[in-house]
């Protein structure tokens, strides 16, 4: 396993912003998601944040940051952001908007600027792990940086993850 991951657009963005972050590489598993990375790294999945690329009824992209063990209520999200509807983007569309591969999507250093929404309870955590711009690579940061660096807007749209 790699001890250091090469520079990604996300880590370049964080370094340019003078942000100190910890690096957390892990063995990536296709469709493993945040629950897998949390398990690999010994973290609570509640503090491992997923970066989801979604779109509104006009196909305008947006970023949603959600706890690793929660799902997004698209109805609640749409209501809070003044959209008629919100749905996840198809993987190839998400890749195009973000510039990252699904499974390695970071909210930092995206190809195009998109509005960012963050589940409000994430902001109460002392530290989060969030994707560093590559599959199998998370970075540890203060969640308030999502607000200061990305202008993330707090929303309340979490649903409990169904345990399989």
Tens of pLDDT, residue by residue over 109-148, are: 999 999 999 999 999 999 999 999 999 999 999 999 999 9
Q: Is 120 inside any structural domain?
A: yes
Inter-residue contact 88 to 36 (CB < 8 Å): no
Inter-residue contact 83 to 56 (CB < 8 Å): yes
Q: Is 130 inside any structural domain?
A: yes
Range of the domain at 26: 9-160
149, 153, 155, 160: CA torsion to nearest 10: -20
What's the CATH code of the domain at 89?
A: 3.90.960.10
pLDDT (tens digit per residue) in 49-69: 999 999 999 999 999 999 999
Inter-residue contact 86 to 77 (CB < 8 Å): yes
Q: What is the token pair recorded at 61?
A: 């992209």
124 Rama class: left (phi>0) / alpha (psi -120 to 50) / beta: alpha
Phi and psi torsions of 132, nearest 5° = -95, 15
129, 65, 145, 36: CA torsion to nearest 10: 0
Q: Is 25 inside any structural domain?
A: yes
pTM above 0.85, yes or no: yes
Q: Is 97 inside any structural domain?
A: yes
Hey, is 77 helix, strand or coil?
A: helix
pLDDT of residue 164: 42
Q: Is 70 inside any structural domain?
A: yes
Q: Is 3 inside any structural domain?
A: no
pLDDT of residue 162: 54
The total domain count for the chain is 1
pLDDT (tens digit per residue) in 19-41: 999 999 999 999 899 999 999 99
């Amino acid at each position: 396993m790699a001890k250091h991951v090469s520079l990604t657009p996300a880590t370049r963005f964080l370094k340019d912003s003078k942000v100190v972050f910890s690096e957390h590489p892990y063995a990536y598993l296709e469709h493993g998601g945040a629950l897998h990375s949390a398990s690999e790294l010994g973290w609570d999945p509640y503090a491992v944040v997923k970066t989801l690329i979604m779109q509104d009824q006009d196909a305008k992209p947006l970023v949603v940051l959600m706890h690793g063990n929660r799902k997004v209520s698209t109805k609640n999200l749409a209501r809070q952001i003044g959209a008629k509807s919100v749905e996840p983007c198809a993987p190839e569309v998400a890749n195009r908007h973000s510039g990252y591969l699904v499974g390695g999507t970071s909210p930092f250093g995206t190809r195009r600027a998109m509005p960012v929404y963050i589940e409000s309870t994430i902001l109460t955590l002392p530290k989060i792990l969030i994707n560093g711009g590559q599959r199998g690579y998370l970075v540890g940061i203060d969640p308030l940086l999502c607000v200061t660096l990305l202008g993330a807007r707090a929303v309340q749209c979490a649903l409990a993850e169904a345990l399989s």
